[in-house]
Amino acid sequence: MSGVGEMCERLPGDQPLPESLRGGVVAIGNFDGVHRGHQAVLSRALDQAQKQGVPALVLTFDPHPRKVFRPDLPLFVLTPPAMKAKLLSKLGFAAVVEQAFTREFSANSAESFVNSILKANLGISHAVTGFNFHFGKDRQGGPAYLMDAGTRNGFGVTLVDAFRDEDACIVSSSRIRSLLSEGDVVQAAGLLGYRFTVQAEVVGGQKLGRTLGFPTANMRLPAETALKEGIYAVRFRRADGTLHDAVASFGRRPTVDDNGAPLLETFLFDFSGDLYGEVCDVSFFGYLRGEVKFDGLDPLVAQMKRDETEARALLAGVRPLSELDAAIAF
Protein backbone atom coordinates (compact mmCIF):
# COMPACT_ATOMS: atom_id res chain seq x y z
CA MET A 1 0.00 0.00 0.00
CA SER A 2 1.58 3.28 -1.06
CA GLY A 3 1.70 6.46 0.99
CA VAL A 4 -1.37 8.66 1.17
CA GLY A 5 0.30 11.59 -0.55
CA GLU A 6 1.57 9.67 -3.57
CA MET A 7 -0.38 9.72 -6.80
CA CYS A 8 0.38 7.38 -9.66
CA GLU A 9 0.94 8.97 -13.04
CA ARG A 10 -1.93 9.03 -15.52
CA LEU A 11 -0.55 8.53 -19.02
CA PRO A 12 -2.18 8.33 -22.49
CA GLY A 13 -2.18 4.91 -24.14
CA ASP A 14 -1.21 6.09 -27.62
CA GLN A 15 2.33 7.20 -26.75
CA PRO A 16 5.45 5.31 -25.71
CA LEU A 17 5.99 5.17 -21.95
CA PRO A 18 8.79 7.11 -20.27
CA GLU A 19 11.91 4.93 -20.16
CA SER A 20 11.69 4.58 -16.35
CA LEU A 21 8.33 2.77 -16.65
CA ARG A 22 9.16 0.45 -19.54
CA GLY A 23 9.75 -3.25 -18.91
CA GLY A 24 7.10 -3.29 -16.20
CA VAL A 25 4.36 -5.67 -15.17
CA VAL A 26 1.01 -4.50 -16.56
CA ALA A 27 -2.43 -5.42 -15.23
CA ILE A 28 -4.88 -5.14 -18.13
CA GLY A 29 -8.60 -4.52 -17.76
CA ASN A 30 -11.31 -1.93 -17.36
CA PHE A 31 -11.39 -2.27 -13.56
CA ASP A 32 -14.51 -0.13 -13.07
CA GLY A 33 -14.97 0.00 -9.31
CA VAL A 34 -11.52 -1.47 -8.52
CA HIS A 35 -13.53 -4.04 -6.53
CA ARG A 36 -12.30 -7.17 -4.72
CA GLY A 37 -12.50 -9.20 -7.94
CA HIS A 38 -10.26 -6.66 -9.69
CA GLN A 39 -8.00 -6.51 -6.65
CA ALA A 40 -7.31 -10.25 -7.05
CA VAL A 41 -5.85 -9.46 -10.50
CA LEU A 42 -4.13 -6.27 -9.35
CA SER A 43 -2.43 -7.88 -6.33
CA ARG A 44 -0.96 -10.58 -8.60
CA ALA A 45 0.51 -7.83 -10.80
CA LEU A 46 1.97 -6.03 -7.76
CA ASP A 47 3.49 -9.29 -6.48
CA GLN A 48 4.98 -10.11 -9.88
CA ALA A 49 6.47 -6.61 -10.23
CA GLN A 50 8.01 -6.85 -6.78
CA LYS A 51 9.46 -10.27 -7.63
CA GLN A 52 11.00 -8.89 -10.83
CA GLY A 53 12.04 -5.55 -9.32
CA VAL A 54 10.21 -3.57 -12.03
CA PRO A 55 7.38 -0.97 -12.03
CA ALA A 56 3.74 -2.11 -11.66
CA LEU A 57 1.33 -0.45 -14.10
CA VAL A 58 -2.32 -0.70 -15.08
CA LEU A 59 -3.61 -0.49 -18.64
CA THR A 60 -7.24 0.57 -18.65
CA PHE A 61 -9.74 1.84 -21.21
CA ASP A 62 -11.72 5.09 -21.26
CA PRO A 63 -14.54 5.64 -21.90
CA HIS A 64 -15.99 2.32 -20.74
CA PRO A 65 -16.39 0.12 -23.86
CA ARG A 66 -20.11 -0.29 -23.16
CA LYS A 67 -20.56 3.47 -23.53
CA VAL A 68 -19.06 3.24 -27.01
CA PHE A 69 -21.04 0.22 -28.21
CA ARG A 70 -24.33 1.03 -26.44
CA PRO A 71 -24.44 4.83 -26.14
CA ASP A 72 -28.25 4.62 -25.80
CA LEU A 73 -27.94 2.78 -22.46
CA PRO A 74 -26.84 4.99 -19.54
CA LEU A 75 -23.97 3.38 -17.64
CA PHE A 76 -23.31 4.23 -13.99
CA VAL A 77 -19.50 4.35 -13.94
CA LEU A 78 -18.37 3.50 -10.40
CA THR A 79 -14.88 4.95 -10.70
CA PRO A 80 -14.30 7.70 -13.28
CA PRO A 81 -10.63 8.01 -14.36
CA ALA A 82 -9.48 10.34 -11.54
CA MET A 83 -11.02 8.18 -8.79
CA LYS A 84 -9.73 4.98 -10.42
CA ALA A 85 -6.19 6.43 -10.52
CA LYS A 86 -6.48 7.45 -6.86
CA LEU A 87 -7.48 3.93 -5.80
CA LEU A 88 -4.76 2.32 -7.92
CA SER A 89 -2.12 4.63 -6.48
CA LYS A 90 -3.21 3.67 -2.94
CA LEU A 91 -2.74 0.01 -3.93
CA GLY A 92 0.83 0.77 -5.00
CA PHE A 93 0.84 1.17 -8.80
CA ALA A 94 3.37 3.54 -10.37
CA ALA A 95 1.19 4.56 -13.33
CA VAL A 96 -2.17 4.12 -15.03
CA VAL A 97 -2.11 4.05 -18.81
CA GLU A 98 -5.50 5.29 -20.04
CA GLN A 99 -6.12 3.95 -23.54
CA ALA A 100 -8.75 5.99 -25.38
CA PHE A 101 -11.48 3.50 -26.35
CA THR A 102 -13.13 4.35 -29.67
CA ARG A 103 -14.82 2.37 -32.44
CA GLU A 104 -11.61 2.82 -34.47
CA PHE A 105 -9.51 1.38 -31.64
CA SER A 106 -11.90 -1.56 -31.24
CA ALA A 107 -11.52 -2.37 -34.96
CA ASN A 108 -7.78 -3.07 -34.56
CA SER A 109 -6.73 -6.71 -34.69
CA ALA A 110 -5.61 -8.61 -31.61
CA GLU A 111 -2.11 -8.80 -33.12
CA SER A 112 -2.06 -5.01 -33.52
CA PHE A 113 -2.99 -4.61 -29.82
CA VAL A 114 -0.06 -6.85 -28.84
CA ASN A 115 2.44 -5.21 -31.18
CA SER A 116 1.54 -1.52 -30.96
CA ILE A 117 0.26 -1.24 -27.36
CA LEU A 118 1.91 -3.98 -25.28
CA LYS A 119 5.25 -4.14 -27.12
CA ALA A 120 5.89 -0.77 -28.77
CA ASN A 121 4.17 1.66 -26.37
CA LEU A 122 4.48 -0.15 -23.04
CA GLY A 123 7.43 -2.49 -23.58
CA ILE A 124 5.96 -4.90 -21.03
CA SER A 125 7.82 -7.77 -19.38
CA HIS A 126 4.67 -9.43 -18.00
CA ALA A 127 0.89 -9.12 -18.47
CA VAL A 128 -1.66 -9.97 -15.76
CA THR A 129 -5.34 -10.16 -16.59
CA GLY A 130 -8.62 -11.81 -15.69
CA PHE A 131 -9.37 -15.19 -17.28
CA ASN A 132 -12.17 -13.68 -19.40
CA PHE A 133 -10.26 -10.71 -20.87
CA HIS A 134 -10.78 -10.39 -24.65
CA PHE A 135 -9.29 -7.83 -27.00
CA GLY A 136 -9.04 -6.90 -30.66
CA LYS A 137 -11.68 -6.76 -33.39
CA ASP A 138 -14.72 -8.92 -32.57
CA ARG A 139 -12.98 -9.99 -29.32
CA GLN A 140 -10.69 -12.26 -31.38
CA GLY A 141 -7.91 -12.16 -28.75
CA GLY A 142 -8.56 -14.25 -25.65
CA PRO A 143 -6.51 -15.92 -22.90
CA ALA A 144 -4.98 -18.57 -25.18
CA TYR A 145 -4.06 -15.92 -27.76
CA LEU A 146 -2.40 -13.75 -25.10
CA MET A 147 -0.40 -16.71 -23.75
CA ASP A 148 0.81 -17.52 -27.26
CA ALA A 149 1.64 -13.84 -27.94
CA GLY A 150 3.70 -13.79 -24.74
CA THR A 151 5.65 -16.86 -25.82
CA ARG A 152 6.31 -15.34 -29.26
CA ASN A 153 7.25 -11.90 -27.96
CA GLY A 154 9.10 -12.73 -24.78
CA PHE A 155 6.73 -11.49 -22.08
CA GLY A 156 5.16 -13.50 -19.28
CA VAL A 157 1.39 -13.89 -18.88
CA THR A 158 -0.62 -14.58 -15.71
CA LEU A 159 -4.36 -15.29 -15.93
CA VAL A 160 -6.40 -14.87 -12.75
CA ASP A 161 -9.61 -16.82 -12.15
CA ALA A 162 -12.89 -15.14 -11.20
CA PHE A 163 -12.97 -13.96 -7.60
CA ARG A 164 -15.89 -15.13 -5.46
CA ASP A 165 -17.15 -13.54 -2.26
CA GLU A 166 -17.94 -15.30 1.03
CA ASP A 167 -21.22 -16.59 -0.46
CA ALA A 168 -19.34 -18.09 -3.44
CA CYS A 169 -20.85 -15.45 -5.78
CA ILE A 170 -18.69 -13.76 -8.40
CA VAL A 171 -17.94 -10.13 -7.51
CA SER A 172 -18.89 -7.90 -10.45
CA SER A 173 -19.29 -4.20 -11.18
CA SER A 174 -22.88 -4.76 -12.31
CA ARG A 175 -23.75 -6.42 -8.98
CA ILE A 176 -22.29 -3.43 -7.12
CA ARG A 177 -24.20 -0.95 -9.33
CA SER A 178 -27.39 -2.83 -8.51
CA LEU A 179 -26.73 -2.64 -4.74
CA LEU A 180 -25.99 1.08 -4.92
CA SER A 181 -29.22 1.68 -6.85
CA GLU A 182 -31.01 0.12 -3.84
CA GLY A 183 -29.07 2.32 -1.38
CA ASP A 184 -27.27 -0.72 0.03
CA VAL A 185 -23.91 0.99 0.46
CA VAL A 186 -22.93 -1.46 3.23
CA GLN A 187 -23.15 -4.57 1.05
CA ALA A 188 -21.59 -2.68 -1.88
CA ALA A 189 -18.63 -1.81 0.36
CA GLY A 190 -18.26 -5.50 1.21
CA LEU A 191 -17.81 -6.29 -2.49
CA LEU A 192 -15.67 -3.23 -3.26
CA GLY A 193 -13.42 -3.82 -0.28
CA TYR A 194 -13.74 -0.12 0.62
CA ARG A 195 -16.55 2.40 1.11
CA PHE A 196 -18.03 3.62 -2.18
CA THR A 197 -16.55 7.07 -2.79
CA VAL A 198 -17.32 9.89 -5.23
CA GLN A 199 -15.13 12.83 -6.13
CA ALA A 200 -16.31 16.21 -7.44
CA GLU A 201 -15.84 19.94 -7.19
CA VAL A 202 -17.85 21.84 -4.58
CA VAL A 203 -20.22 24.25 -6.37
CA GLY A 204 -22.60 26.99 -5.26
CA GLY A 205 -26.12 26.02 -4.20
CA GLN A 206 -29.38 27.71 -3.28
CA LYS A 207 -28.10 28.37 0.26
CA LEU A 208 -31.35 27.07 1.80
CA GLY A 209 -29.43 24.78 4.17
CA ARG A 210 -27.39 27.73 5.43
CA THR A 211 -30.49 29.70 6.41
CA LEU A 212 -31.74 26.63 8.32
CA GLY A 213 -28.47 26.21 10.20
CA PHE A 214 -27.28 23.28 8.04
CA PRO A 215 -24.88 24.72 5.43
CA THR A 216 -24.00 22.14 2.78
CA ALA A 217 -21.13 21.48 0.39
CA ASN A 218 -22.83 20.79 -2.94
CA MET A 219 -21.45 18.57 -5.70
CA ARG A 220 -22.91 17.79 -9.11
CA LEU A 221 -22.40 14.13 -9.97
CA PRO A 222 -22.56 12.57 -13.48
CA ALA A 223 -26.08 12.23 -14.90
CA GLU A 224 -25.76 8.39 -14.94
CA THR A 225 -25.11 8.17 -11.18
CA ALA A 226 -27.72 5.57 -10.23
CA LEU A 227 -27.28 5.74 -6.46
CA LYS A 228 -30.61 5.56 -4.60
CA GLU A 229 -31.87 9.00 -3.68
CA GLY A 230 -31.99 9.72 0.03
CA ILE A 231 -30.00 10.60 3.12
CA TYR A 232 -26.65 8.95 3.94
CA ALA A 233 -24.07 8.90 6.72
CA VAL A 234 -20.81 9.85 4.99
CA ARG A 235 -17.25 10.99 5.45
CA PHE A 236 -16.06 14.06 3.57
CA ARG A 237 -12.37 14.42 2.64
CA ARG A 238 -11.06 17.83 1.65
CA ALA A 239 -8.36 18.38 -0.96
CA ASP A 240 -5.78 18.79 1.84
CA GLY A 241 -6.66 15.33 3.21
CA THR A 242 -8.61 16.45 6.29
CA LEU A 243 -11.61 14.26 7.04
CA HIS A 244 -15.02 15.22 8.44
CA ASP A 245 -17.96 13.10 9.52
CA ALA A 246 -21.09 14.32 7.75
CA VAL A 247 -24.61 13.61 6.58
CA ALA A 248 -25.45 13.90 2.88
CA SER A 249 -28.59 14.16 0.80
CA PHE A 250 -28.45 12.73 -2.71
CA GLY A 251 -31.14 13.54 -5.26
CA ARG A 252 -32.06 15.35 -8.43
CA ARG A 253 -32.96 19.01 -8.03
CA PRO A 254 -34.49 20.16 -11.29
CA THR A 255 -33.35 23.73 -11.85
CA VAL A 256 -33.16 25.84 -14.97
CA ASP A 257 -29.43 25.47 -15.52
CA ASP A 258 -28.57 21.80 -15.03
CA ASN A 259 -31.50 19.65 -16.26
CA GLY A 260 -31.86 17.99 -12.89
CA ALA A 261 -28.26 16.77 -12.63
CA PRO A 262 -27.79 14.57 -9.56
CA LEU A 263 -26.80 16.76 -6.62
CA LEU A 264 -24.99 15.60 -3.48
CA GLU A 265 -25.49 18.05 -0.60
CA THR A 266 -23.23 17.32 2.39
CA PHE A 267 -23.52 18.89 5.84
CA LEU A 268 -20.13 18.63 7.58
CA PHE A 269 -20.25 18.26 11.35
CA ASP A 270 -18.36 20.80 13.47
CA PHE A 271 -17.03 22.70 10.46
CA SER A 272 -17.21 26.24 9.20
CA GLY A 273 -15.28 27.49 6.21
CA ASP A 274 -15.37 28.03 2.47
CA LEU A 275 -15.17 24.92 0.26
CA TYR A 276 -16.20 26.43 -3.11
CA GLY A 277 -14.03 25.28 -6.00
CA GLU A 278 -12.35 22.53 -3.97
CA VAL A 279 -12.29 18.98 -5.38
CA CYS A 280 -13.35 16.75 -2.48
CA ASP A 281 -14.30 13.10 -1.86
CA VAL A 282 -17.41 11.73 -0.17
CA SER A 283 -17.40 8.14 1.15
CA PHE A 284 -20.75 6.45 1.89
CA PHE A 285 -21.13 4.48 5.14
CA GLY A 286 -24.87 3.98 5.58
CA TYR A 287 -28.29 4.76 4.13
CA LEU A 288 -30.46 6.54 6.70
CA ARG A 289 -33.79 7.21 4.92
CA GLY A 290 -35.49 8.17 1.71
CA GLU A 291 -36.43 11.69 0.62
CA VAL A 292 -39.54 13.02 2.38
CA LYS A 293 -41.73 16.04 1.63
CA PHE A 294 -42.15 18.18 4.77
CA ASP A 295 -45.07 20.37 5.65
CA GLY A 296 -43.10 23.50 6.49
CA LEU A 297 -39.56 24.23 7.65
CA ASP A 298 -39.92 23.30 11.34
CA PRO A 299 -40.53 19.56 10.74
CA LEU A 300 -37.70 19.63 8.15
CA VAL A 301 -35.22 21.10 10.65
CA ALA A 302 -36.34 18.62 13.34
CA GLN A 303 -35.74 15.72 10.92
CA MET A 304 -32.33 17.09 9.89
CA LYS A 305 -31.33 17.14 13.57
CA ARG A 306 -32.42 13.49 13.91
CA ASP A 307 -30.43 12.62 10.75
CA GLU A 308 -27.34 14.28 12.24
CA THR A 309 -27.70 12.34 15.51
CA GLU A 310 -28.14 9.04 13.65
CA ALA A 311 -25.20 9.69 11.32
CA ARG A 312 -22.90 10.65 14.21
CA ALA A 313 -23.82 7.44 16.04
CA LEU A 314 -23.28 5.26 12.96
CA LEU A 315 -19.93 6.86 12.10
CA ALA A 316 -18.66 6.64 15.69
CA GLY A 317 -18.52 2.84 15.40
CA VAL A 318 -17.06 2.29 11.92
CA ARG A 319 -13.80 0.42 11.25
CA PRO A 320 -11.76 0.04 8.05
CA LEU A 321 -12.64 -2.97 5.89
CA SER A 322 -9.12 -3.14 4.43
CA GLU A 323 -5.89 -1.17 3.99
CA LEU A 324 -7.44 0.44 0.92
CA ASP A 325 -10.53 1.48 2.89
CA ALA A 326 -8.29 2.92 5.62
CA ALA A 327 -6.46 5.00 3.01
CA ILE A 328 -9.66 6.22 1.32
CA ALA A 329 -12.23 6.74 4.09
CA PHE A 330 -10.31 6.97 7.39
Three-class SS of residue 86? helix
Three-class SS of residue 176? helix
pLDDT of residue 96: 97
Residue 144 has pLDDT above 50, yes or no: yes
Long-range contacts at 244-252 (CB < 8 A, ≥ 24 apart): 244/268, 244/269, 244/270, 244/271, 245/269, 245/311, 245/312, 245/315, 246/282, 246/311, 247/288, 247/304, 247/307, 247/308, 247/311, 248/282, 248/284, 249/216, 249/291, 250/221, 251/291
Residue 259 has pLDDT above 70, yes or no: no
The CATH number of 9-160 is which of 3.50.50.60, 3.30.70.1350, 3.40.50.620, 3.90.950.20? Answer: 3.40.50.620
**Which fold, 195-329?**
Elongation Factor Tu (Ef-tu); domain 3 (2.40.30)
Residue 47 has pLDDT above 60, yes or no: yes
pLDDT tens-digit profile of 240-255? Answer: 999 999 999 999 865 4
- Integer Cα distance of 13 and 97 in angstroms: 5
pLDDT of residue 5: 43
Residue 217 has pLDDT above 70, yes or no: yes
Q: Over the chain, what is the mean pLDDT? A: 91
Residue 210 has pLDDT above 70, yes or no: no
Residue 324 has pLDDT above 90, yes or no: yes
**Residue 206's CB: how many other CB atoms inside 10 A?**
13
Residue 4 has pLDDT above 50, yes or no: no
Structure confidence at residue 132 as a pLDDT band (50, 70, 90): confident
Q: Provide CB contacts within 8 A for 162, sequence distance 6+.
A: 37, 130, 131, 132, 170
The domain segmentation of the chain, as residue ranges, is: 9-160, 195-329
pLDDT of residue 166: 76
